[in-house]
């Protein structure tokens, strides 16, 4: 009797049914698809799933009687009854035959009885083969496939142990990831976390498949310190939903997570009053206001015993909330706003005058923190005597002077708007970019920084400023750790292929820089979107790991398959996926490289309930 731990096959799943590879079809790209047939049993059909690994003897000659098997992955499975007549058949005959056809399906539970019923499957190669020695006490080693499967050879489903050995080859000692294999309960799909973070990843799935849930589970795991790698995460959150989906981190490890708003407009004024140094004495009504604005998933709404847990977590969240502006100091603010208000058609004489204005105006403001009072000082300096504009305007004509003055007037109006917006904000509630960069570069604790804001343009601008300054800082460091990943949720807002505005161009250039050169400095990117077809192709081409769920639009599936270099047929399993089901395809981060692995991701809602001490049944 063969030891089940060392047996690579699980032939019992087909219930003794005859099976065979019946057709091999080449495509235009040098790949093959395989058509498999198997006698029908109800339990046999139920035991086969899209994404399963099966072995079929190939044309490599045996050695000492030991056959060589190719490993295929199933991409389609369906039952066929050969007594079913076409649509032109007489309806009376059709309905009469259907009665007996149903009886055929139901009567063949454990063993095949009728030759008219068949299980058909489509499969593609994994690129691996193994030589099977039935006398060996160990699982057979596998190697790169050197021949194609043999037409007429039987189908042999692989055992759990063999699937584990194949999908986790080379990384079986890695800590558990938030993914289990879809077929086998408790078979963890391991990930090389350093490769995942520094060779970049993408999450692609339509509305309702659990995309945000997956981002939450992945970010929680990556920043937990439990995966054996020191990693910090910057999560760009345009929809402001991850405070709720990572609420357990604010309760269990509040010093390792920050909630950052780009500008004050996305926070209630009442909450702003208790940020910074005032965060240690937050009234209950302010916490309740925060709770009412929290975007809890439906699965966490109206859960008994969760309210008090949320109150504790939100009290910590208010303490960890800060407002950030995309400027390091007042000098940078003056520079950026003059640049923003300068029209691209502005001539060289006016630009030269504006550079001189900036030099005079910003003198003495380097290192001055951005507060309402200090912005007011900058406005007053513009109106002081002697004016910083006087000398630069001496040697230009009236037309040029009018152009430059228009830029200055618009800049002053924008500074006035910023100053008024900062009036009711405690100075300690504003965090300088330099402090964020220092926190991200620290190896003392794992950091998750959630960044949200009211305007997409401001989020993009801030992300590009933070990313570029962080990149420059890492160039000066002597270590690649801690690894840092910029994760862009709703990435089609940040990285559309068809927009050329300044903020989009800046964030696109940052992401391309991080994707191409960030690895040597321990920097990476992750993107999440339901519209892959809208993304910039240069960024997608540099993602080495894809998490893919249901994508009903053909254009999105085509973009994913073209960018990763796999056939659309290999994405076929996603059509049957339920929320939480994902294909993982990776060139670097998985043991089985370049082949989709069907998985079930950890449910973020259940993680939060578990951390709150509430049973799943609550």
Show the CA angle centred on residue 337, arms to residues 335 and 341, nearest 5°. 120
For 156, the token pair is 């042999």
For 205, the token pair is 């799935």
On whether the CB atoms of residues 220 and 604 are closer than 8 A, the answer is yes
Show the CA angle centred on residue 549, arms to residues 544 and 552, nearest 5°. 115
Q: What residue ranges of the chain have pLDDT lower than 50? A: 1-2
Cα gap 272→424, rounded to integer Å: 8
Q: What is the pLDDT of residue 2?
A: 47
**The pairing of beta strand 483-488 with beta strand 597-601:** unpaired
Q: How many CB atoms lie within 10 A of CB 404?
A: 26
Q: What is the pLDDT of residue 424?
A: 83
Cα gap 201→446, rounded to integer Å: 20
Instruction: Give the residue carrying structure tokens 């910074």.
Output: 276
pTM of the model: 0.87
- Angle at which helix 502-517 crosses helix 456-475, to 10 degrees, equals 30
Cα gap 516→199, rounded to integer Å: 9
- Calculate the CA dihedral of residues 120, 125, 129, 133 and round it to 10 degrees: -10
Cα gap 235→260, rounded to integer Å: 10
| Overall fold of domain 193-325+430-611 | Rossmann fold (3.40.50)
Residues 6+ apart with CB under 8 A from 105: 40, 42, 79, 81, 117
Q: Across-strand partners of 72?
A: 54, 125
Model confidence over 319-359: pLDDT tens digits? 999 999 878 889 989 998 998 899 888 899 989 989 988 99
Cα gap 97→102, rounded to integer Å: 9
* Residue 253 to residues 109, 290, 297, 413, Cα–Cα distance (Å): 52, 19, 21, 42
Cα gap 165→189, rounded to integer Å: 11
**The pairing of beta strand 545-548 with beta strand 201-204:** parallel
Model confidence over 433-457: pLDDT tens digits? 888 999 999 877 788 999 999 988 8
Cα gap 588→199, rounded to integer Å: 8
CA nearest to 58, candidates 130, 157, 147, 144: 147
Q: How many CB atoms lie within 10 A of CB 116?
A: 14
CA nearest to 77, candidates 45, 101, 55, 106: 45
Domain boundaries, the chain: 11-167, 193-325+430-611, 330-422
């Amino acid at each position: 009797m063969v030891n089940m731990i060392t047996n690579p096959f699980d032939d019992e799943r087909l219930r003794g049914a005859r099976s065979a590879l019946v057709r091999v079809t080449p495509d235009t790209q040098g790949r093959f698809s395989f058509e498999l047939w198997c006698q029908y049993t109800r339990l046999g059909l139920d035991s086969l799933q899209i994404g399963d690994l099966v072995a079929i003897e190939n044309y490599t000659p045996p050695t000492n009687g030991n056959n060589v098997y190719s490993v295929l992955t199933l991409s389609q499975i369906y039952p066929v009854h050969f007594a079913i007549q076409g649509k032109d058949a007489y309806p009376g005959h059709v309905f009469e035959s259907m009665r007996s056809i149903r009886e055929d399906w139901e009567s063949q539970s454990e063993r095949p009885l009728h030759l008219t019923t068949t299980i058909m499957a489509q499969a593609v190669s994994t690129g691996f083969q193994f030589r099977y020695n039935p006398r060996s006490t160990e699982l057979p080693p596998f190697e790169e496939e050197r021949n194609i499967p043999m037409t007429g050879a039987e189908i042999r489903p692989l055992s759990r142990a063999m699937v584990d050995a194949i999908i986790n080859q080379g990384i079986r000692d890695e800590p558990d990831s938030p993914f289990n294999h879809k077929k086998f309960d408790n078979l963890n799909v391991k990930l090389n976390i350093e490769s995942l973070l520094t060779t970049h990843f993408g999450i692609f799935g339509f509305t309702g498949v659990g995309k945000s849930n997956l981002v939450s589970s992945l970010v929680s795991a990556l920043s937990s310190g439990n995966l054996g790698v020191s990693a910090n995460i910057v999560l760009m959150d345009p929809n402001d939903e991850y405070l709720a989906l990572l609420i357990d981190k604010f309760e269990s490890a509040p010093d390792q997570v920050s909630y950052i708003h780009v500008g004050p407009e996305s926070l209630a004024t009442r909450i702003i009053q208790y940020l910074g140094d005032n965060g240690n004495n937050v009234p209950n009504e302010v916490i309740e206001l925060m709770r009412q604005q929290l975007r809890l998933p439906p699965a966490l709404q109206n859960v008994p015993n969760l309210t008090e847990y949320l109150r504790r977590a939100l009290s910590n969240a208010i303490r960890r909330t800060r407002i950030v502006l995309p400027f390091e100091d007042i000098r940078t603010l003056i520079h950026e706003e003059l640049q923003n208000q300068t029209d691209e058609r502005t001539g060289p004489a006016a630009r030269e005058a504006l550079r001189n204005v900036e030099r005079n105006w910003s003198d003495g403001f380097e290192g001055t923190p951005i507060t309402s009072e200090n912005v007011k000082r900058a406005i007053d300096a513009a109106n002081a005597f002697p004016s910083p504009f006087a000398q630069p305007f001496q040697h230009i004509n009236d037309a040029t002077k009018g152009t430059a003055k228009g830029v200055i007037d618009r800049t002053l109006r924008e500074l006035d708007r910023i100053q008024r917006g900062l009036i009711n904000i405690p100075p300690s509630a504003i965090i300088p970019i330099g402090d964020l960069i220092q926190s991200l570069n620290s190896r003392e604790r794992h950091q998750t920084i959630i960044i949200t804001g009211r305007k997409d343009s401001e989020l993009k601008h801030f992300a590009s400023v933070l990313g570029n300054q962080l990149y420059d800082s890492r160039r000066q460091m002597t270590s690649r750790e801690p690894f840092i990943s910029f994760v862009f949720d709703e990435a089609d807002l940040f990285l559309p292929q068809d927009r050329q505005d300044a903020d989009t161009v800046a964030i696109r250039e940052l992401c391309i820089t991080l994707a191409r050169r960030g690895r040597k400095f321990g920097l990476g990117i992750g993107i999440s979107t339901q519209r892959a077809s809208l993304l910039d192709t240069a960024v997608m081409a540099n993602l080495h790991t894809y998490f893919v769920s249901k994508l009903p639009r053909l254009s999105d599936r085509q973009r994913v398959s073209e960018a990763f270099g796999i056939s659309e047929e290999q994405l076929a399993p996603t059509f049957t996926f339920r929320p939480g089901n994902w294909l993982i395809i990776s060139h670097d981060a998985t043991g089985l490289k370049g082949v989709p692995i069907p998985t079930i991701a950890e449910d973020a809602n259940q993680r939060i309930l578990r951390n709150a001490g509430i049973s799943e049944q609550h």
